[in-house]
Amino acid sequence: MAHRKRTLCVKNQKRRFLQVPALQLHVSKTAMRASQKDFESALSQVKLLKDPGNEVKLKLYALYKQATEGPCNTPKPGVFDLINKAKWDAWNALGSLPKETARQNYVDLVSGLSSSSDSSSQVKPEADRKQRGYETLVVTSEDSITKIMMNRPAKKNAITTQMYNEIMLALKAASKDDSAITVLTGNGDYYSSGNDLSNFTDIPPEGIEEKAKSSAILLRDFVDCFIDFPKPLIAAVNGPAVGISVTILGLFDTVYASSRATFHTPFSHLGQSPEGCSSYTFPKIMGPAKAAEMLIFGKKLTAAEACAQGLVSEVFPDSTFQKEVWTRLKAYSKLPPNAMRISKQVIRNREKEKLHAINAEESRVLQERWLSDECTNAVMNFLTRKAKL
């Protein structure tokens, strides 16, 4: 794994942004030729979508009018005619955008909405393909892909004891199901804010030492599941990632990140020390000097920096992240599953024993750290809202 560099490619070179007042739509060069047929098919498709919300409906309305009638040509409605005024404003904001560009933007917008309602990070409560039995996750299996989505968006997907246990269960199930690849992602604006710091407040009657001990066992078991996971494991990092959600990325086979994602391991700030085998994988991936800045000094990386340093395979613009990642993964999931599994074993197996030993050592060191004043004070400061990252 010497100084691993994953394919670096921020996907904005082949792209251009079409900017119009109040609207910024992302359009690929090759896609600038939507036919009348594509447009009509988008018009039918839009009726099948679930309500995309008023803002998107206004964009659709404006693009439709521009595509069919050209620039806004009706008198401005009065101030009290709120709905028609909002529609007029949206259409008028498109200025002199050519009809064919508006038609293309309409088709792109509908296509983005369809794919995000197919496979976005939004939770579909009654989806048939959802696996039941998880409270902190949404686990789905479709198109030979098992998707494990951390689902505590209001808490930035902070990982509780229950979530650690559920992720382990989900990984064990995914290792045996008939999916070809497994994906970990987050629901909402964060990928994950790492360990839920309130885990430290649940002290058993045996005392704080016992808590530190059981937490170290949990940490070790959790990281072991990633070391041993037999199929290609992909992280779809949909937003900021903190702490253990960052360190375990070194154990994934591919890491896709939204341009909005950041990567932050503030262990010293928290009186803690590296885990997730990052004390070994990070220096290998990015070199010792860059790893030290992250793991000792808590330097936060942008998605582009994490990609340049080899922690991330590829960065996608946030606006198209879901669509592009799931299109890519659907294609990968059709590759022969046994060949992918065996390739992963060939790449990873010789490191496994070493990784288990490193995990054990990191967990042992952390068990002591959790009992230190530095750690106790940092956690208390967060929980009493005196400090955030």
Binding-residue pattern over the window 198 to 237 for ligand LG6FSS7D, x denoting contact by CB under 6 A:
xx---------------x--xx------------------
Candidate segments 8-16, 67-75, 150-158, 313-321, binder of ligand LG6FSS7D by CB under 6 A: 150-158
384 interacts with ligand LG6FSS7D by CB under 6 A = no
Q: Does 270 bind ligand LG6FSS7D (CB under 6 A)?
A: yes
Q: Which of 59, 156, 211, 348 binds ligand LG6FSS7D (CB under 6 A)?
A: 156
Contact in structure between 12 and 317 (CB atoms under 8 Å) = yes
Tokens coding 79: 């101030």
- Which of 183, 216 has the CB closer to ligand LG6FSS7D? 216
Q: What is the dihedral of CA 300, 303, 307, 309, to 10 degrees?
A: -10
Closest residue (Cβ) to ligand LG6FSS7D?
243
C-alpha to C-alpha distance for 312 and 234, rounded to whole angstroms: 11
Distance CA 168, CA 162 (A): 10
Closest CB to ligand LG6FSS7D among 232 and 240?
Answer: 240
Cβ distance to ligand LG6FSS7D smaller for residue 145 or 358:
358
Nearer to ligand LG6FSS7D, 39 or 229 (CB): 229
Q: State which of residues 112, 186, 188, 194 lies at the interface with ligand LG6FSS7D (CB under 6 A).
A: 194
Q: Are 312 and 6 in contact (CB under 8 A)?
A: yes
Nearest distance, CB of residue 88 and ligand LG6FSS7D, angstroms: 36
Q: Is 377 in the site for ligand LG6FSS7D (CB under 6 A)?
A: no
The reply to whether 248 sits near ligand LG6FSS7D by the rule CB under 6 A is no
Shortest Cβ 193–ligand LG6FSS7D spacing (Å): 3
Radius of gyration of the chain (CA): 24
- Minimum separation from the CB atom of position 43 to ligand LG6FSS7D (A): 39
Check binding of 388 to ligand LG6FSS7D (CB under 6 A): yes
E strand segments, the chain? 15-20, 23-28, 130-131, 137-142, 145-150, 181-186, 233-237, 241-242, 254-258, 262-264, 301-302, 314-316
**How many residues belong to the site for ligand LG6FSS7D (CB under 6 A)?**
22
**Interface with ligand LG6FSS7D (CB under 6 A), residue from 112, 243, 250, 310:** 243
Cβ contact 190:261 at 8 Å: no
Q: Among residues 205, 261, 204, which one has the least CA distance to residue 235?
A: 261
> Which amino acid is located at 282 in the chain?
F
- Residue of the chain from 104, 146, 151, 195 that contacts ligand LG6FSS7D (CB under 6 A): 195
If binding is defined by CB under 6 A, does position 369 make contact with ligand LG6FSS7D? no
Residue from 183, 187, 224, 125 nearest 326 by CA: 183
Q: Are 188 and 335 in contact (CB under 8 A)?
A: no
Q: Could you give the CA distance from residue 211 to residue 69 in angstroms, rounded to a whole number?
A: 68
- What does 114-139 look like in DSSP terms, one character per residue? HHHHHH-SS--TT-TTEESS-SSEEE
* Burial profile 221-241: b = 16 or more Cβ within 10 angstroms, e = fewer: ebbbbbbebebbbbbbbbbbb
Binding range to ligand LG6FSS7D, per CB under 6 A, among 95-103, 119-127, 267-275, 339-347: 267-275
Which segment (154-162, 278-286, 333-341, 351-359) binds ligand LG6FSS7D by CB under 6 A?
Answer: 154-162
Residues 222, 167 contacting (CB under 8 angstroms): yes
- With respect to ligand LG6FSS7D, which residue has the nearer C-beta, 217 or 342? 217
Residue number with CB closer to ligand LG6FSS7D (64 or 263) = 263
Number of C-beta neighbours around residue 331 at 10 A: 10
Q: How many CA atoms lie within 13 A of 278 on its CB side?
A: 24
- By CB under 6 A, the residues from 72 to 111 that bind ligand LG6FSS7D are none
Looking at 77-85, 111-119, 187-195, 321-329, which segment touches ligand LG6FSS7D (CB under 6 A)?
187-195
Q: Which residues bind ligand LG6FSS7D (CB under 6 A)?
A: 155-156, 158, 193-199, 215, 218-219, 242-244, 270, 272, 275, 382, 388-389
